[in-house]
Amino acid sequence: MTYNPDNVFAKILNGSMPCNKVYEDDYALAFHDINPQAPVHVLVIPKGPYESMDDFSKNAPVDLICGFFSAVGQVARELGITEDGYRMLANHGADANQEVPHFHIHLFAGRNLGMLLPR
């Protein structure tokens, strides 16, 4: 697949769409999910044109991979969710029902999140 530069997170990154920002550095941008599934539901996206975890892990430069995952941890600390706990999740592709084709990590927190997968 080819990265679609018109996807909603690309537009947030280039400033043509707004977001409710919680964190930004050279490698990552984090903002509140528009349709939260937990009391805290934040998305962290890398600053680069990667459509999913597969693309990112295969094609992103090492400094971006390191900077991005470091930023995810920093976002969690700044949100104050490390003590009670949080879940991080990334959907890749059709079986995971990935909706937005720009790699992103969901951070969920603020209540007991139950089992990982519904049965």
Distance CA 69, CA 81 (A): 16
For position 14 contacting ligand AMP by CB under 6 A, the verdict is: no
For position 66 contacting ligand AMP by CB under 6 A, the verdict is: no
For position 25 contacting ligand AMP by CB under 6 A, the verdict is: no
Q: 109 is written with which tokens?
A: 């927190």
Size of the site for ligand AMP (CB under 6 A): 12
Task: Please identify which residue in 16, 35, 58, 94 interacts with ligand AMP, judged by CB under 6 A.
Answer: 35
For position 7 contacting ligand AMP by CB under 6 A, the verdict is: no
Q: 93 is written with which tokens?
A: 């592709």
Note if 104 is an active site residue. yes
Q: 55 is written with which tokens?
A: 């693309």
Pick 66 or 89: Cβ nearer ligand AMP:
89
- Number of CB atoms found within 10 A of residue 53's CB: 17
For position 100 contacting ligand AMP by CB under 6 A, the verdict is: yes
Let me know: does 62 contact 48? Beta carbons within 8 Å: no
Residues 6+ apart with CB under 8 A from 84: 109, 110
Question: Which residues here bind ligand AMP, judged by CB under 6 A?
Answer: 8, 19, 31, 33-35, 43, 91, 97-100
Please list the active-site residues: 104
